[in-house]
Amino acid sequence: METVSTNLSFGGTQGVYTHQSTSTGTQMTFAVFVPPQAATDKCPVVWYLSGLTCSHANVMDKGEYRRKAAELGLIIVCPDTSPRGDDLPNDESWQMGQGAGFYVDATQSPWSKNFQMYSYVTQELPTLIAENFPADMTRQGITGHSMGGHGALTIALKNSDTFKSCSAFAPITNPSTAEWSKGALMAYLGADDAKWAEYDAVRLIENGARFPALFVDQGAADNFFEGCNPHALQNVCARTDIALTLRFQEGYDHSYFFISTFMDDHLTWHAERLSL
């Protein structure tokens, strides 16, 4: 692991790092904020997964999480959204390819060689974090935005023994049916619709996956509201014992103005559950 930069912020350290990934076969970049409490104790970890076209830098620059994370004693880990490189496959559409890994392990050529983002986020990067940062890996939460919200929900549902808390900002809740995600699932996973269900929060819940409680904020003025389909998640959770807190925020869109406004609420949600 190599350090790209570190900056003091709210008594903690905001760092950017790179390493050679065995999952993706590429150099990967990620950001970590370590709060001041980590000087004396290991701290719980909250993962933030970014959305389409984004990288680790979007939330680091615009998410406004450091003040609250420093107050609550949370380590914030921000991975990239895909492998990157001139010699890697890509697509002209912003909805797939580099910057749009959808947090899946691709099985189809040419994507399968490098686009192993599920394994990277759930296995390789957590090991690196545990080895290099004062992180209490027995207390992990996960959140994300849009495509990253989809990632947060599906990863939590598939790894409920690892994560103690899960939230999302405007997640793509049912990507098997959304026009802006179906093409990527087809490209990465093939034509078998059953494979898509492994990375679809609504269908995972329909097929028996469970998580104690989910917290979702959705902008009511989001131009991607239909594709996010919060009501699909609301309906499927209503048929289970999953406690869903779903808030529709009037006037808010899909941008980081929306995310930064409600970031404190999400970090507080995670801190309450990670303190148990």
Active site positions, annotated: 146, 222, 254
**Sequence-ordered alpha helix ranges (H) in 28-101:** 56-62, 66-72
Are 221 and 253 a contacting pair, CB within 8 Å? yes
| CA pair distance 192, 171, nearest whole angstrom | 23
Task: Kindly state the tokens that stand for 17.
Answer: 């790092």
Could you count the other beta carbons within 10 Å of the beta carbon of residue 275?
Answer: 11
d(CA 276, CA 271): 9
Q: Strands 75-79 and 27-34: what pairing? A: antiparallel
Give me the residues paired with residue 34 across strands: 13
Number of H helices, E strands in the chain: 11, 9
